[in-house]
Amino acid sequence: MKYFITTYGCQMNVHESEKIAGMLVDIGYESASSVEDADVIVFNTCCIRDTAEKRAYGNIGALKSLKRANPDKIIAVVGCMTQQKGGAEALSLKFPFVDIILGTNSLDKLPILVQDKRSRRASIAVSEDPTVDLGLELPIYRTSGTNAWINIMYGCNNFCTYCIVPYVRGRERSRSISDVIRDVKQVLSEGYKEITLLGQNVDSYGNDLKDGTSFAALLKEISSLPGKFRLRFMTSHPKDFSREVVDVIAASRNICHNIHLPIQSGSNEILRRMNRKYTVEQYLEIVDYIKEKMPDVGITSDIMIGFPGETEEDFLSTCDLVRKVRFSNAFTFVYSPRKGTPAANMEQIPADIKKSRITRLVNLQNDITKELSDEYLGKVYEILVEDVNPKYPGTVCGRTDSGRLVTIKGETSLIGSFIDVKITKSRSASLFGEILSKGE
Ligand code: 5AD
Ligand code: SF4
């Protein structure tokens, strides 16, 4: 028996799919190469933006005829889309051929429902209260190569006015330091060379535990574990990202100098209406401190255009900020209204204006990324080889500590090792290099 999972959205979902796979492997399933080849097909959905939602709707809809021809195939839709108000009901109405619909908080029921496949009726298990976490003791079938994802917290308390996450993922719940450290030790003993800590707002890790636990303390403790490995984390919130955390990173030997710090907008008025709780000036202050302590840092960001009421002047302020910070890379988004969030009821920006702004922003960031790429030329960096680069046969690729992807000629046997690489070519966001020495 085989399963096939399609994942939408963020790294959090990628990791949740590893837990779904773990549960299915546990009951005897193995990974299939396509939906045609699978007995269980799972869609792990995301509702943060309109685009992710539309893609999922399209892909689920496309399975109608496959299901009609093979009624024994089990189709499950899980994750954030089912967790929206009325979301599960809407899905089951639109796609009556779907067998199982599960919220993020009931995913642990998947194996039982799959095994009970004789019941042809669709099963829906979504609870209004999204605060139950995916069982922490669930088996995990890790699929991300050299990197192991580890959740340190769930949920979000911030209620940015554009964002659906707090509604579908509930309030912040931190895992205990001892649980996280146990998982870290486990993946290190399994040979993983990179760990990425996951949370919607990792900087507020521990606040709910009320025992003095902090993100800085967690980082320090993991960083002091023996062995050679890299530690990354996401996502940080500029209002909570502290100098103390910067100091811990700068003093550590293994926490990567790569920080994802979403700015969203470069206009104070828009930031205020987004309920982001920081100003452009405060953002720049923390960025300056990061750059002072770690001159080799790669700072990445999420930037959104077209938030309700965004004027041309607001947009130009965002471009100004992008020029000032010089992000090594940025994820750029067009605002899309999410039902039930405050910004969905504000006056919206016309689509053609959004289109022009996103094009200008993407071009600006591409120019900066290219300029920064050129600065790598001729220098030597340690990279952790992660995978083959399917675009260029005979090559493998990995990241610098600062998060830049480097492609080199090499054998797959290099995957999982640290090597020194001299950068010989840059092409926009991509770097190319040659091996100088093989490390650990
Ligand atoms: N529209 C567009 N982008 C959004 N994001 C969150 N909500 C929305 C929305 N409604 C973006 C933010 C966030 C990233 C994960 O997704 O930039 O940081
Ligand atoms: Fe959404 Fe804001 Fe929470 Fe990030 S911090 S998940 S953008 S509400």
Report phi then psi at 64, rounded to 5. Answer: -55, -50
Q: For ligand 1, is residue 304 a contact (CB within 6 Å)?
A: yes
**Ligand 1 atom nearest residue 50's Cα:** 1
pLDDT beyond 60 at 6: yes
Q: Which residue ranges form the domains of the chain, and what is each CATH number? A: 2-125 (3.40.50.12160), 144-256 (3.30.750.210), 260-271+289-374 (3.30.750.200), 380-438 (2.40.50.140)
CA of 55 to the centre of ligand 2 (A): 22
Contacts for 389-392 with beta carbons within 8 Å, 24 or more apart? Answer: none
Confidence of residue 224 (pLDDT cuts 50, 70, 90): very high
CA-closest candidate to residue 290, choices 326, 264, 333, 343: 326
Backbone angles phi, psi at 399, to 5 degrees: -110, 150
Q: 48 alpha carbon to ligand 1 midpoint, in Å?
A: 6
Residues lining ligand 2, Cβ inside 6 A: 156, 158-160, 163, 165-166, 200-201, 237
What is the rounded distance in angstroms from the CA atom of residue 61 to the CA atom of residue 68? 12
Q: Is the CB of 298 under 6 A from ligand 1?
A: no
Q: Which of 162, 241, 261, 303 has the most ligand 1 atoms within 8 A of CB, as the residue to mutate?
A: 162
Substitution site in 53, 54, 163, 335 for ligand 1 pocket (most atoms within 8 Å of beta carbon) = 163
- Ligand 1 atom 3: residue of nearest CA: 335
Q: What angle do CA 99, 104, 107 make, to 5 degrees?
A: 55
Question: Is pLDDT above 50 for 191?
Answer: yes
Task: With a cut of 80, say whether residue 437 has pLDDT above it.
Answer: no
Q: What values do phi and psi take at 181, rounded to 5? A: -60, -40
Per-residue confidence (pLDDT) for residue 208, from 0 to 100: 94
- Under the banding of pLDDT at 50, 70 and 90, the label for residue 140 is confident
| Burial of 392 (C-beta count, 10 Å sphere; 0-12/13-18/19+) | middle
**pLDDT beyond 70 at 133:** no
- What is the pLDDT at residue 135? 45
Name the pTM for this structure.
0.92
- Residue 194's pLDDT is 97
Distance 235 CA to ligand 2 centre (A): 9
b/e burial code for range 39-49 (CB count within 10 A of at least 16 → b)? bbbbbbbbbbb
Compute the distance from residue 166 Cα to the ligand 2 centre, in Å: 7
Query: pLDDT tier at 428 (50, 70, 90 boundaries)?
Result: confident
CA of 81 to the centre of ligand 1 (A): 15
Question: What's the CA gap between 235 and 255, in Å, rounded?
Answer: 15
State if residue 167 touches ligand 1 by the CB under 6 angstroms criterion. no
Q: Where are the beta strands (DSSP E) in 365-429?
A: 380-388, 395-399, 405-409, 418-427
For ligand 2, the distance from its centroid to the CA atom of residue 301, given in whole angstroms, is 13
Q: At residue 50, what is the residue type?
A: D
Q: Over the chain, what is the mean pLDDT?
A: 92
When pLDDT is cut at 50, 70 and 90, the band that residue 141 belongs to is confident
Of ligand 2's listed atoms, the one at least distance from the Cα of 163 is: 1
Mean pLDDT check: name the lowest of 135-139, 174-178, 293-297.
Answer: 135-139
Residue 107 confidence class, pLDDT cut points 50, 70, 90: confident
pLDDT of residue 85: 86
Residue to probe by mutation, ligand 1, list 14, 48, 81, 300, most atoms within 8 Å of CB: 48
| DSSP code string of 126-191 | --S-TTSPS-TT------STTEEEEE-EE------TT--HHHHH-S-EEPPHHHHHHHHHHHHHTT
Residue whose CB lies within 8 A of the most ligand 2 atoms, among 48, 161, 163, for a mutation test: 163
